[in-house]
Amino acid sequence: MSEPGCPMCQKLAHPEQGKGDEVVWRFPNSVAMLGRWQGYAGYCVLAANVHARELFDLPDDGRRAYFDEMCLLARAIQKAFSPHKLNYELLGNQVPHLHWHVFPRYQGDPDLLSPVWKAIDAAEQDAGKKTTLETGPDPRERTVARIQEALAALGAPNA
Ligand SMILES: [Zn+2]
């Protein structure tokens, strides 16, 4: 179920040891964590409970349930923050353990035509940009609470 040496498996086993990455919600098939880049207010990462590299590696029922949990998380972020649009990304080039990035995008974003990664890459090289992209309108614990409230209102299953 877990893979030795996989950083996501380690994080899921010991979420309290990570800096940031607060657990937002434990679904039956995945764990939602608040992402680092809260300049995109409400950004979450949804990691599959089991170690799998590709969606097709999951059994059919588990894959569908994982997708439904991602949609529910997205709906909750929409409800809590009313972004202009949500972006869904399943990359895994650095950490090949299934995890969705759910990025809310807001009006006024200067890079609205691009995925977030160029801006994040630029922020990694520039302390000022990093602070801007890491800092949301609310403290992180308040952001977590708002998403949790929305998930509870939507009747999200809790593992
Ligand atoms: Zn893993």
The residues facing 70 across adjacent strands are none
**Residue at 156: amino acid letter:** A
Q: Which two tokens stand for residue 64?
A: 């569908």
pTM of the model: 0.95
Provide the residues around ligand 1 (an ion) whose CB is within 5 A.
3, 6, 8-9, 51, 97
* In the predicted structure, residue 155 carries a pLDDT above the cut 70: yes
Indicate if the pLDDT at residue 19 is higher than 70.
no
pLDDT of the residue at 20: 67
Please determine, for residue 103, whether its predicted confidence score (pLDDT) is greater than 70: yes
Q: What's the average model confidence in pLDDT over 63-72?
A: 98
For residue 78, how far is its CA from the centre of ligand 1 (angstroms)? Answer: 28
